[in-house]
Amino acid sequence: TANRGENITVIFVNNTVFGMTGGQMAPTTMLGQETTTTPLGRSYIGDGYPLKMSEMLATLEGCSFVARVAVNSPANVRKARKALFKAFEVQVNNMGFSFVEVLSACPTNWKMSPQDALKRIKDELIPYFPLKIFKEKTIPDTL
């Protein structure tokens, strides 16, 4: 879908676990992070490295807008809102595939308070998964 440039928007909530199914390891689980399927923590030897989805998708020609945002602070929520509006604008204007990765907390499966989970996003996730617009094709003036 992304490589073909289909006119859809994907919102990928990255909380580093599969939270709806009990907290198993996800493709984005951090190294050392304990989950129900990696009780000793994720290891690059057997589990591989966390995937950087936005960076990978930005290399595809069919992708018109790729961004990574976070919802751990009011300022970041406002930036996330702008990125989502941009993604939908790209979709409505038939410009191809849009992808917005949203770094989000999962206090339950991270086994921490909501406040500590927000701090973890800032201290651990954002340094590994930097917030930015990775790809943005401009909307033609002829539309």
Classify residue 20: in a domain, yes or no: no
Classify residue 4: in a domain, yes or no: no
User: Which candidate, 61, 74, 63, 82, places its Cα nearest to that of 7?
Assistant: 63
Classify residue 32: in a domain, yes or no: no
What are the phi and psi torsion angles at 140 (to 5°)? -60, 145
Classify residue 95: in a domain, yes or no: yes
Q: What pLDDT, in 10s, does the model give residues 108-126?
A: 999 999 999 999 999 999 9
Number of folded domains that form the chain? 1
- The gap from C-alpha 45 to its chain's centroid, in whole angstroms, comes to 24
Residues 6+ apart with CB under 8 A from 10: 2, 97, 98, 99, 100
**What is the value of pTM for the model shown?**
0.93
Give the structural domain span for 70.
Answer: 9-14+52-136
Which pair of tokens denotes residue 133? 């617009």
Classify residue 69: in a domain, yes or no: yes
Alpha-carbon dihedral 50, 51, 54, 60, rounded to 10 degrees: 160
Classify residue 100: in a domain, yes or no: yes
How far apart are alpha carbons 14 and 26 in whole angstroms? 9
Provide the residue-wise pLDDT of the chain in tens; the chain has 143 residues: 999 999 999 999 999 999 777 889 999 999 999 999 999 999 999 999 999 999 999 999 999 999 999 999 999 999 999 999 999 999 999 999 999 999 999 999 999 999 999 999 999 999 999 999 999 987 665 54
Q: What pLDDT, in 10s, does the model give residues 82-96?
A: 999 999 999 999 999
